[in-house]
Structure 1
Amino acid sequence: MSPLAPVLTLPGWLGSGPDHWQSRWEALYGFTRVEQHDWLRPLRGDWSARLDEVLLEQREPVVLAAHSLGCILVAWWAAHSRHTDRVRGALLVAPPEVEREDLRAQIPGWAPIARTRLPFPSTVVASIDDPYGSAEHAAALALAWGSGLFIAGARGHLNADSGLADWPEGVALLQALREAAVSAPD
């Protein structure tokens, strides 16, 4: 049996602090963060180029674990990159409504959201009380992206403030994608 695909974490705007599930997973499981040059003023083109660069450095295809703006990055990158074969799956947690006027003002340059079907298996995870993106918005993106949809209940933005700790529910969703990647044809 082949080993499970390595995991790259893709934080959103401002990065993920030490109590965020992404940071905890990196410490617990040895996942690798895609470090961006500027977490405060994210530029879609720069973030996308950085993702491409990191993916090309990997010895084998990976599974992505994205949060918030990281989800929007995955969709944009997948719609424009020639290297989508480097990704075997993606967990897309709490995609924000960057087309909303208040978020557009805070994070300019990220709208419109790419709504092209993703060329790899993916699961969108949403909360019913996320202040940055409604569950309906997440469901519409999941449909456009060809992703599965998991509603995590009332958990806010599914970040450190949500009290997820090591987030075993998320680990199970990620494991399912990693296991599916093992049996995916090359």
Structure 2
Amino acid sequence: MNAAPQPTIVIVPGLRDHVADHWQTHLAADLDVAERYDSVTVPPLERDKLSRHARVAALDRMLHQVDGPVVLVAHSAGVMTTVHWAQNPTREVAGALLVTPADLELRLPEGYPTTQELDDGGWTPIPRRRLPFPTVVAASRTDALGGFRRITGMAEVWGARVIDLGDVGHLNPAAGYGPWPRATQLIDDLLTMTSAHQPA
């Protein structure tokens, strides 16, 4: 009997798109070298960068360019792009790893979009419905863009398993994180979890 095909990892960046030393950028490169999983990254928008509709549409286009099973790996506002897309999914997803979600309902630190800009862009309210695929939320206890209690509360209604990352800030270069090898481990764990729920 043929083994099930390995999923493609679809990387969903936040509003700042592609940062050279970001862990998602390193993950894509590492997966390419290891040839363990294929990966693709949702490309940056040329316009309407704060439009939730445009971000969700870009993710949807990418998902329909990939054959076979997919796993979403999102960070920051990319988590919210993923959650909004999942309210009306247009294809099956094997699972999602949602890392340090940005709480776009509350005021973000200086240098980030304002609450009004996010409201105008259609990001609020954050969907609070169970997601239609197995999900892991990796949450930081020291994230200025998302308080641990609120994020874990969202994870609960999404039906997600929570991983407590501890003191990692927003898990971005500003917090001292470039490469983050644990991402691959969490993807492996997620796929083990999803296979355990498959019918025999």
TM-score by length of 1: 0.90
**20-29 vs 34-43, greater mean Cα deviation:** 34-43
2:132 equivalent among 112, 116, 119: 119
1:156 and 1:16 map into 2 onto residues whose CA distance is 19
1:105 and 1:155 map into 2 onto residues whose CA distance is 28
Contact 2:101–2:151 (8 Å) recurs in 1: yes
The aligned amino acid for 2:29 is A
Identical columns (%): 33
Indicate the residue corresponding to 1:2 in structure 2: 4
The structure number with the bigger radius of gyration is 2
Give secondary structure in 2 for the equivalent of 1:94.
Answer: strand
1:127 and 1:149 map into 2 onto residues whose CA distance is 10
Q: How does 1:1-186 map to 2 (within 5 A)?
A: 1-30=3-32, 31-38=39-46, 41-83=49-91, 85=92, 87-102=93-108, 103-108=114-119, 109-182=122-195, 184=198
2:176 and 2:48 map into 1 onto residues whose CA distance is 24
1:156 and 1:40 map into 2 onto residues whose CA distance is 28
Contact 2:152–2:162 (8 Å) recurs in 1: yes
Instruction: Calculate the aligned-residue CA RMSD, in Å.
Output: 2.0
Measured against aligned partners, the alpha-carbon deviations of 1:134-183 in whole angstroms (never above 9, x if no partner) come to 11111011101000001111111011223333212222111112344456
Q: Are residues 39 and 107 of structure 1, via their aligned partners in 2, closer, same or farther at CA, if it must alter by over 3 Å? A: farther
The aligned amino acid for 1:105 is Q
Q: Which runs of 5+ in 1 are unaligned?
A: none
Q: How far off is 1:106 after superposition?
A: 4.8
1:38 and 1:143 map into 2 onto residues whose CA distance is 34
Q: How far off is 1:95 after superposition?
A: 0.9
2:79 and 2:10 map into 1 onto residues whose CA distance is 13
1:60 and 1:130 map into 2 onto residues whose CA distance is 34
2:63 and 2:142 map into 1 onto residues whose CA distance is 33
Contact 2:27–2:183 (8 Å) recurs in 1: no
The aligned amino acid for 1:55 is L
1:153 and 1:111 map into 2 onto residues whose CA distance is 27
The aligned amino acid for 1:104 is T
Give secondary structure in 2 for the equivalent of 1:126.
Answer: strand
How many positions carry a matched residue from both structures?
A: 184
Higher helix share: 1
TM-score by length of 2: 0.84
**125-134 vs 106-115, greater mean Cα deviation:** 106-115
**68-77 vs 156-165, greater mean Cα deviation:** 156-165
